[in-house]
Structure 1
C-alpha cells in the first residue's frame, strides 16, 4: 500500500478562473409544471433518468404512479430505485417498497416492458447467488429486446454484486465501447455547446447631417444665384452680342455638367477616405505617414470601461476568430496588424447594433465567425481592400468635371467680363452677387448632396451585409440542425465513465466483483465551456473525472482529464491510500452555492475538487438551487459521499462488515415478508 507523499489540491477545477458563463438551451425537457398530467410527469421523470439524474427521476415517477400505472411505468420505477446507488443507500421506505414490489406492481398483458420488469426482478433476486444459479437469467437478459436491455445494463451497475455483477459488467462495458463514439459524436457533440443563434440585425445608417440652417442657406443662395444668373443673361441679351450669348449658354452648360460630375467625384473620394479611416487605421501603411493626420480627424475613441462588458467580450471574440481564420500564405501576426482597423470597426458595429439589446455575444458568435471568414476569403482573392478600386473615380467622370468647370470659368467668365463695358454698374453688381451666392450655393448644396449620397451608400451597404448575414445564418442553422439532446450527452459521458473504470480495473489487475465498491466524481476542468437545458445539469467540454476503487487493501484513485468532444483521457494521476489514512470527507458549500468535495488524509494532504461553481445562470421560472442539485446528482456525488464517508467513519471495519450487511440486506429486500 502506498500513500501520496505530496500535497494535492484542486485536482479538478478552480471556478474563480475557470467556468464563468455558459449556454442555456431553451428546451423544457426537464421543467415540471404543477398542472402536468401524471403521464407527462412520468415522461419528465424518464428524461431525468436517461440524463443520469436518478434522484429527481425517482420523485417524479413515484408521483406519476399515483394516477398513471403501466408496465412501462413499473419498469422505469424499478430502474430509478436502483440506479447509480447500492442497497445500502436505500432509505427504509425505499427498502420497504422494493420488498413489497410484487404487491405494488399491477402488471397487465404481455409486452417488452413486462419482460423487462421480469428480468430486473430476477436480477435483483440473483444477487449474491453462485455462478451456476445465474446463467439462465443472464441468457434471458441477452435475449431481451431494446431499449429494455440497454437500460438495464446502464442502471444496475452499482446495485448488483457477486458473480452476476461480472456478467452484467462485461456486457455493459462491451456496449459502452460500441456506443462511445456512435451517433456522429465527433461531428455533433460540439454543437451542444453553441447557443441558438440570434437573428442578425440590420445596422441603421447615420442619418444625413443637414440642419435646417443648412437648407435655409442653400435655398436662399439658390434663389439669389438664379436671380443673378437670369439678370446677367438679360444684360447679355440686351447687348445683342451673339458671341457673349453663346459663351453665356456654354458657361451654364459647363456649370451644370461640372457641378454634377464634381459631386459624383467628390462623393467617391470622401467615401474612400472614410473607408480608409475606418478600416486601415492602425496599419503602418496607411502609407506615406498619413495615419497621424487621419486619426486626428477621428473623434476620441471610448475607453474599454466606457464601451462596457459587451464591447470587451465582442472584441475578444473578434480577435479570436480573426486569429483563427488566417488566409493561406499569410503570417498570423501580419494578418492581425493588417486587419486591426477592420476588427475595431466590426467591434464598433456590433456594440452599436447589439450592445443595448438582450442578445449576448455568444448568440452572435456565428456572425463574428462569418465576418472573419469572409474577410479571410476576400484577402485570399485579393479583394480585401477592393473598395479602393470600386470607389476610384472613372476617368470619364474626372474629365467631364474638369471640362465643365473649365467651360464655366472660361466661357462664363468671358461672357461676364464682356458685358461690363455695356453696363458697368449693373454688370459689376450682378457679377458680385453671382460670385457670392455661387460660392455659398456650391458649398451648401455639395454638403447636402454628399450627405444624401453617403446615407444612400451606407444604407445599400447595410442591406447588402444584412443579406449576407441572413444567408450565413441559414447555413449555420442547417449545420446545427442535428445538435445532440441531453440524453445523448449523458449516454456518451456514461460510456466514457465505463471505459475509464475498465482502464482502472485493468491497471490495478482487479475484477468488478473483486472491488468492494467504486465511485465517480465528475467535475468541470478549468476554463471549460459549458451548456445545459433549462432545468438540466451542466455539461462540459472538458471534465476532470475521479474514480475511486475500494479494495480489501485500501483505496485506489485515478484522476484524468476527459476531452468530452473526442472521448479521450489525458493527464492521468494515480493515488493509493489505506483506509486508516482517510481523515475526513466533506462537501463545502460557499456563499454563492458552489460545492467543493474535500477528502482529507491523515498526513495532512487534501484532495479538493470543485464539482459545482455555484454560478447557475437561472432562467425565468427556474428555482434557485435546482440546477446545482441536478448537476451534483449527475456528477455522482451522492454515491461517492456515501462510500467515502463510510470509510472515513469506520475504516477497515466498514469493509469487513460489508459482506455480512450486503447478504442480510439482499435477503431482506427479496423477502416479501
Structure 2
C-alpha cells in the first residue's frame, strides 16, 4: 500500500480533452417517455424499462407512482422490490424505502406460485439471509439456481451492492459466471455499432429539369415550316403547270431526301450536344482561386465524399489515378447532395449510407469499364452521318434542278420561292433540332434518374434491414453491467481479494477518447469507448483501477492501478457547469488529482421535452454516480474512521433487517414515500 507521499497515476490532466463526435439522439424511440394521462400499467411498464436500462432512481419514482395508483400483482411486486434495492447498499436506503420494501409483498398482494412470485419470494429470502450471517445457504442457493429466467438474471444484476457476508461471495460468483459467459451474447460485436448510427433518411433527388424551349424557338419552327411549305408548294405548282413531270419527280425525291437529312441531322445534333453535356459533368472542374473550405453541413458532406472516394479505390487502378479521374464526378455528386439535403435539417450521418452507395456505384462502374460508356453510346454512328449528308445532297440536287427549270417560265417567282425556301429551311431546321434535342434530353434524364432512384431505394431498404436489429437501450445497459463485473473481477484477482473482503466498490464512467455517443429519447448517453474508474475499498485502503473499454468488442485496454490509504484522500468534488457538463475530481493530500469528465452536454442534441439538467441526471443515474459519491465522499470526510462507521451501520441495518423479517408488519394503505 502506498502512502500519501506517493505519486499516483492521474486519469486526466487539467487541460486534457476528450475527442468526441457529435451525438446521435434516437428521437423516435420513446421507451422511457411517459405519455400524458398514462395509466398505472403504462407507467409500470416504463418503470420496468428504466430499471432494465440501469436508471434505478427514475425507475423507483415511476414504479412507485404505479403502485400508489393501485397497481398490484406478482410481477409488480418483483420489480418494485428490485427498484428499491438496485444500485445502492442497505445503508444508502432511506427508512421510507426500507419500509416500502418490507411492505411490498402485502401491499402488492403477492400470491400464487408463478415465476414472478418465485422471484419476489427469493428476493425476500436473500435479504433475510444477508441479515442472518449464520443462515444455512445451501437450500436457498439451490432454489435460487433453479429460478427461471429472466428473474434469476435480474436478481444477480440488481442485488450486487446489497448483499453481505458469505452470501455475497456466492451470488457474486454466479453473477460473474453469467457476465463472462454472456458478455458478448446476442451478437454484440455485430450489433453495437448500429446503436450509434442515426436512423437513415431516404434518398432525395433534384427534380429533372423540364424541357426548356423558348417561345421564340417554337415560333421560328412554326413560321419556318409554314414559309418553307408555301415556297415548296409554289415551286411544285410552277413545275406542274408547265408539265415538267420528270423535274417534278426529281424535286419530290429531293424533298424526301431533305426530310431524311432532317431526321438524321436531328439525331446527330442530339448525340453531339448530349455528349458535350455529359463531358461537362464528368470532367475536372476548372481550378478556381484558393478559398476557405466550406463549413457546416456542406463541409461535412465534403469530408464524407473525400473519405469514401479515398477508401473505395477500384482494384484495377491506383489511388491517385482513381482520385484524378473522378474529380468531376465527385464534385457533381457532392453538389447534388448538398443542394437536396441542406434545408431538410438532416445530419451527414443520416445520409452517409447514400454517399457510400453512390461512391461504391462509381467504383463498380470503373471496375467493369462502364463508367465512360456514355462516350460510346453517344458517339454519332457513321450511318447517321452518311444519311444526313446523302439527304442534304439529294435535297440540294432536286431543289437546284427544280429551280432551274422553273425560272425558264417564271424567273422572279421561282427565285423568290427558292430564297424563301432556303432561309425557312435553315430557320425551321435549327429550331426543330433544338426542340427535339431538348425533349430527348429530358426523356434521357428521366430514364437515368429513374434508374439511379431504383438503385438508391433498393440500397436504402437494404440498409434499413441491416439496422433493423439495432440494440435497445436496456441491452446496452446489460452489456455495460457485464463489462463492469469483468473489470471488477480482474481487479479482485490481481489483489487476491474476494467479494466478502470488499467493504464497498464504486465506478466512475467517463467517455473515452475519440468516442461516438448516442442515446434514446430521455435516456442516458452510451459511448463506443469508455474510460472506467474503479474504486475498491478494503480494510487496508483504496485500490484504484482505470481501464479503457472498447464497448463494441467488450475488451479492456491501457489499464492502470494505484493504491493509497484512506488518509491520503483530501477531497472529492463533482463540478457541474451551467451547460450541463459534469466532472469528477478526487484530490489527494499530496496535491495529485484524479479527474474524469463524466458528461459533456450539447444543447443542439436535446429533444423538445428535454433539458440539459434532465439529460445529465439520467446519464449520471444510469452510471451509478449516487452510490459512488456516497462511498467516496464518506472516505474524504471520515478517512479510515469510515471503516468503523461502516461496520456500525452494517450491524445496525442487520439488526433492523432481522427485526422486520421476524415480524413483518401488516400492509399499509399506501406505500411509504421517501
TM-score using structure 2 length:
0.90
Note if contact 1:79-1:152 (Cα within 8 Å) is conserved in structure 2: yes
1:383-418 Cα distance to aligned partner (Å, 9 max, x none): 222222222233332322232233334443454456
1:593 matches 2:547 = no
Q: SS of 1:558's equivalent?
A: strand
Which residue number corresponds to residue 72 of structure 2? 69
Cα 1:20–1:608 shift into 2, 3 Å: farther
Cα 1:336–1:559 shift into 2, 3 Å: farther
CA apart distance, 1:83:
0.8
1:603-643 Cα distance to aligned partner (Å, 9 max, x none): 33323322221126222444553222211111222222221
1:485 matches 2:485 = no
Note if contact 2:582-2:598 (Cα within 8 Å) is conserved in structure 1: yes
Task: Name the CA distance, whole Å, in 1 between partners of 2:425 and 2:591.
Answer: 92
Matches within 5 A, 1:213-292: 213-282=216-285
Cα 1:52–1:232 shift into 2, 3 Å: same
1:155 matches 2:137 = no
1:671 matches 2:673 = no
Which residue number corresponds to residue 453 of structure 2? 466
Which of residues 362, 372, 383 in structure 2 aligns to 1:375?
Answer: 362
CA apart distance, 1:132:
6.2
Which residue number corresponds to residue 42 of structure 1? 44
1:175 matches 2:188 = no
Which residue number corresponds to residue 184 of structure 1? 187
Cα 1:379–1:5 shift into 2, 3 Å: same
Which residue number corresponds to residue 606 of structure 1? 593
1:567-614 Cα distance to aligned partner (Å, 9 max, x none): 112222333333233232222222321222222333333233222211
CA apart distance, 1:227:
2.4
Which residue number corresponds to residue 356 of structure 1? 343
1:184-215 Cα distance to aligned partner (Å, 9 max, x none): 22222222223333232354111222222332
Is the deviation greater in 162-171 or in 126-135? 126-135
Is the deviation greater in 468-477 or in 432-441? 432-441
Which residue number corresponds to residue 310 of structure 2? 323
Task: Name the CA distance, whole Å, in 1 between partners of 2:319 and 2:491.
Answer: 43
Is the deviation greater in 496-505 or in 595-604? 595-604
1:335 matches 2:314 = no
Cα 1:499–1:427 shift into 2, 3 Å: same
Note if contact 2:67-2:108 (Cα within 8 Å) is conserved in structure 1: no
Note if contact 2:24-2:197 (Cα within 8 Å) is conserved in structure 1: no
CA apart distance, 1:323:
3.0
Q: SS of 1:671's equivalent?
A: helix
Task: Name the CA distance, whole Å, in 2 between partners of 1:634 and 1:263.
Answer: 71
Note if contact 1:327-1:376 (Cα within 8 Å) is conserved in structure 2: yes
Task: Name the CA distance, whole Å, in 1 between partners of 2:521 and 2:495.
Answer: 40
CA apart distance, 1:497:
1.3
Q: What number of residue pairs does the alignment pair up? A: 656
Q: SS of 1:557's equivalent?
A: strand
Q: SS of 1:110's equivalent?
A: coil
Which residue number corresponds to residue 193 of structure 1? 196
Task: Name the CA distance, whole Å, in 1 between partners of 2:564 and 2:401.
Answer: 108
Task: Name the CA distance, whole Å, in 1 between partners of 2:225 and 2:290.
Answer: 39
1:26-65 Cα distance to aligned partner (Å, 9 max, x none): 1221111231111111111010001111111101111111
Note if contact 1:259-1:401 (Cα within 8 Å) is conserved in structure 2: yes
Task: Name the CA distance, whole Å, in 2 between partners of 1:362 and 1:413.
Answer: 69
Note if contact 1:523-1:612 (Cα within 8 Å) is conserved in structure 2: yes
CA apart distance, 1:150:
0.7
Cα 1:13–1:379 shift into 2, 3 Å: farther
* RMSD of equivalent CA atoms: 2.7
Which of residues 411, 416, 420 in structure 2 aligns to 1:429?
Answer: 416
Task: Name the CA distance, whole Å, in 2 between partners of 1:493 and 1:378.
Answer: 43
Task: Name the CA distance, whole Å, in 1 between partners of 2:166 and 2:554.
Answer: 30
Which residue number corresponds to residue 502 of structure 1? 489
Note if contact 2:56-2:86 (Cα within 8 Å) is conserved in structure 1: yes
TM-score using structure 1 length:
0.90
Task: Name the CA distance, whole Å, in 1 between partners of 2:361 and 2:139.
Answer: 64
Task: Name the CA distance, whole Å, in 1 between partners of 2:203 and 2:509.
Answer: 37
Which residue number corresponds to residue 668 of structure 2? none
Is the deviation greater in 177-186 or in 550-559? 550-559
Which residue number corresponds to residue 534 of structure 2? 547
Task: Name the CA distance, whole Å, in 2 between partners of 1:55 and 1:5.
Answer: 33
Task: Name the CA distance, whole Å, in 1 between partners of 2:202 and 2:377.
Answer: 30
Task: Name the CA distance, whole Å, in 2 between partners of 1:632 and 1:430.
Answer: 93
1:466-509 Cα distance to aligned partner (Å, 9 max, x none): 11122222222222222222222211111111111112222222
Task: Name the CA distance, whole Å, in 2 between partners of 1:372 and 1:654.
Answer: 62
Matches within 5 A, 1:530-569: 530-569=517-556
Q: SS of 2:571's equivalent?
A: strand
Note if contact 1:11-1:607 (Cα within 8 Å) is conserved in structure 2: no
Is the deviation greater in 353-362 or in 156-165? 353-362
1:630 matches 2:618 = yes
Which residue number corresponds to residue 59 of structure 1? 61
CA apart distance, 1:304:
5.6
Is the deviation greater in 460-469 or in 210-219? 210-219
Which residue number corresponds to residue 573 of structure 1? 560
Which residue number corresponds to residue 401 of structure 1? 388
Task: Name the CA distance, whole Å, in 2 between partners of 1:632 and 1:97.
Answer: 25
Structure 1 runs of 4+ aligned residues shifted over 6 Å read 300-303
Which of residues 607, 618, 626 in structure 2 aligns to 1:619?
Answer: 607
Task: Name the CA distance, whole Å, in 2 between partners of 1:344 and 1:661.
Answer: 70
1:114 matches 2:101 = no
Matches within 5 A, 1:287-302: none
Q: SS of 1:625's equivalent?
A: helix
Which residue number corresponds to residue 649 of structure 1? 637
CA apart distance, 1:542:
2.0
Task: Name the CA distance, whole Å, in 2 between partners of 1:6 and 1:144.
Answer: 44
1:432-463 Cα distance to aligned partner (Å, 9 max, x none): 32333333323332222222111111111111
Cα 1:149–1:460 shift into 2, 3 Å: same
